[in-house]
């Protein structure tokens, strides 16, 4: 099936693009896209002011006050995760990574590249990481200096209990690093309540900006101790921070358009009511999606209590008439892009509830799913 040839009922965003029900990049508003229609030099006063405003407003989202600073970095989200690990975990340190999916595993891989001592504490992909097990592990291993946790593990969509993890790490006087990439802006990360040294996220997930930039919100006192840690110049957050504080400029070519889009996206995020407003819309999207899928007989991987309102993992139906590539193509032709699964434990696919989407798009996607199932002759969606 040729997905470039939309079928008659194709749903379209105002720009004529399909809706992205994926983990990112995501559907953005027209006004966020319009914000990119400028060419500003990296030393332009307007650009420097917007960059400073973006950094300050990102710190405000975690209620970081004077204790935190925003260090933005070029690249996709993975670049800033790697930069956080390389900058914060010193050469003689040891990182414990709480792993329940691909993004935790990726952090271990980064440590292997950098020759940093690291170990995993694993739970299954459909099980949140375990604060009690962490407590025992930290008590047993005084060599562990840092703990890393993924806020919403996008592999499955499971929500990890970062506040409980933070309390355990603080009690043992170790340092916490958080990958909140797929949750930031939709789920609270409150620096007044959770003790952590750094949290990273990117421009193109729940903040609904354009892809191309990540950022680290770092405890200033912790970052100040990190000079010389990073094994990579371009991923050295300490160097990026010092240079930006001195000149207001980025060390290397800034992703100008991405920053203009993110600053506009943050304005729209605040207009929507910040984290409370955004999480409300995403939760409603998630509820519509899960209810509709279950009505069709699909099974979701996670029970409702563990499901973050970010992305829903659906078990692959066992009906031999269900063919995922054909299903995917039919939905794409109808204007809805979904995502393949990434689980190791079960065959699955994923449908996102984030981005500039609401009830109309969720119901539209459910309608397209019903139509695709009918076309394929699938009558049983059970795994």
Ligand X SMILES: *Cc1c(COP(=O)(O)O)cnc(C)c1O
Closest C-alpha among 76, 97, 106 to residue 200: 76
Q: Establish if 105 lies at the interface with ligand X (CB under 6 A).
A: no
> Between residues 107 and 333, which has the closer beta carbon with respect to ligand X?
107
Q: Give the x-and-dash track for 202-231 against ligand X (CB under 6 A).
A: x-----------------------------
Angstrom distance (rounded) from CA 378 to CA 317: 9
Nearer to ligand X, 76 or 234 (CB): 76
Nearest-CB residue for ligand X: 77
Cβ proximity to ligand X, 68 vs 103, nearer residue: 103
In the set 88, 103, 269, 327, which binds ligand X (CB under 6 A)? 103
Least distance (Å) from ligand X to the CB of residue 30? 23
Decide whether 73 or 266 has the Cβ nearer to ligand X. 73
Which residue pairs, CB below 8 angstroms and at least 24 apart, start in 10-18? 10/333, 10/334, 10/335, 11/334, 11/335, 11/336, 11/361, 11/364, 11/368, 12/335, 13/335, 18/332, 18/335, 18/336, 18/337
Neighbours of 29 (CB within 10 A): 18
Query: In the set 78, 145, 232, 234, which binds ligand X (CB under 6 A)?
Result: 78
Instruction: Choose the stretch contacting ligand X; rule: CB under 6 A; options: 74-82, 128-136, 186-194, 279-287.
Output: 74-82
| Minimum gap (Å) between residue 129 Cβ and ligand X | 13
Q: Which stretch binds ligand X (CB under 6 A): 71-79, 113-121, 313-321, 323-331?
A: 71-79
For residues 84 and 32, what is the distance between their CA atoms, to the nearest angstrom?
27
Radius of gyration of the chain measured on its C-alpha atoms: 21
- Closest residue by Cα to residue 54 from 197, 250, 236: 250
Q: Give whichever of 64 and 214 is closer to ligand X, judged by the CB atom.
A: 214
Does residue 179 belong to the site contacting ligand X (CB under 6 A)? yes
Considering only 46-54, 179-187, 189-197, 240-248, which stretch makes contact with ligand X by CB under 6 A? 179-187
Minimum distance from residue 7 beta carbon to ligand X (Å): 30
Is residue 154 part of the contact set for ligand X (CB under 6 A)? yes
Alpha-carbon distance 244 to 242, whole Å? 6
For the chain, the distance separating the N- and C-terminal CA atoms, rounded to the nearest angstrom, is: 25
Q: Where are the alpha helices (DSSP H) in 64-141?
A: 77-88, 102-114, 131-140
3 to 62, contacts with ligand X by CB under 6 A? 23-24
Q: Chain centroid to CA 116: how far?
A: 24
What's the count of helices (H) and strands (E) in the chain, helices before strands?
12, 14
Of the candidate residues 35, 81, 96, 162, the single one contacting ligand X (CB under 6 A): 81
Binding of ligand X by 182 (CB under 6 A): yes
Number of residues that bind ligand X (CB under 6 A): 13
CA pair distance 380, 383, nearest whole angstrom: 9
Sites for ligand X among residues 311-370 (CB under 6 A): none
What are 177's strand-pairing partners? 148, 198
Q: CB of residue 258 vs ligand X: minimum separation in angstroms? A: 12
- C-alpha closest to that of 287 among 190, 358, 198, 213: 358
Query: Which residue blocks in the chain are alpha helix, DSSP H?
Result: 30-34, 45-61, 77-88, 102-114, 131-140, 162-171, 220-223, 237-247, 256-271, 274-295, 324-333, 359-376
Which residue in 69, 138, 150, 216 binds ligand X (CB under 6 A)? 150
Name the segment binding ligand X (CB under 6 A); options: 1-9, 75-83, 141-149, 368-376: 75-83
Q: Is 185 in the site for ligand X (CB under 6 A)?
A: no
Q: Which residues of this chain interact with ligand X, rule CB under 6 A?
A: 23-24, 76-78, 81, 103, 150, 154, 179, 181-182, 202
């Amino acid at each position: 099936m040729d997905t470039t040839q939309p079928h008659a009922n194709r749903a379209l965003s105002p720009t004529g693009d399909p809706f992205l029900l994926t983990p990112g990049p995501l559907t953005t508003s027209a006004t966020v896209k319009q914000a990119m229609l400028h060419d500003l030099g990296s030393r332009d006063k307007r650009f420097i002011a917007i960059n400073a405003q973006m950094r300050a407003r990102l710190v405000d989202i975690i209620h970081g006050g004077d204790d935190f600073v925003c260090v933005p970095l070029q690249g996709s989200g993975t670049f800033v995760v790697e930069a956080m690990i390389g900058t914060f975990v010193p050469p003689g340190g040891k990182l414990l990574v709480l792993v329940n999916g691909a993004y935790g595993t990726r952090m271990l891989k980064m440590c292997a590249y950098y020759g940093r001592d690291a170990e995993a504490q694993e739970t299954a992909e459909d099980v949140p990481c375990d604060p009690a097990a962490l407590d025992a592990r930290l008590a047993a291993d005084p060599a562990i200096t840092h703990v890393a946790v993924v806020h919403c593990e996008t592999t499955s969509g499971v929500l990890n209990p970062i506040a409980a993890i933070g309390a355990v790490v603080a009690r043992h006087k170790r340092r916490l690093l958080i990958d909140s990439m797929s949750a930031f802006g939709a789920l609270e990360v409150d620096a007044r309540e959770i003790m952590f040294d750094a949290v990273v996220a990117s421009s193109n997930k729940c903040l609904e900006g354009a892809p191309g930039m990540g950022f680290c919100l770092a405890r200033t006192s912790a970052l100040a101790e990190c000079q010389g840690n990073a094994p990579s110049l371009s991923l050295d957050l300490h160097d990026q921070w010092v240079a930006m504080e001195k000149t207001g400029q980025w060390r290397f070519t800034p992703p100008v358009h991405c920053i203009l889009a993110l600053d506009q996206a943050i304005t729209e995020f605040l207009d929507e009511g910040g984290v409370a407003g955004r999480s409300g819309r995403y939760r409603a999207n998630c509820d519509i999606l899960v209810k509709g899928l279950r009505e069709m007989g699909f099974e979701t991987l996670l029970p409702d209590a563990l499901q973050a309102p970010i992305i829903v993992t659906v078990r692959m139906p066992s009906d031999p008439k269900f063919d995922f590539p054909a299903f995917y193509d039919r939905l794409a032709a109808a204007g809805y892009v979904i995502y393949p699964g990434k689980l190791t434990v079960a065959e699955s696919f994923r449908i996102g509830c984030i981005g500039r989407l609401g009830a109309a798009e969720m119901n539209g996607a459910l309608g397209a799913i019903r139509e695709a199932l009918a076309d394929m002759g699938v009558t049983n969606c059970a795994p």
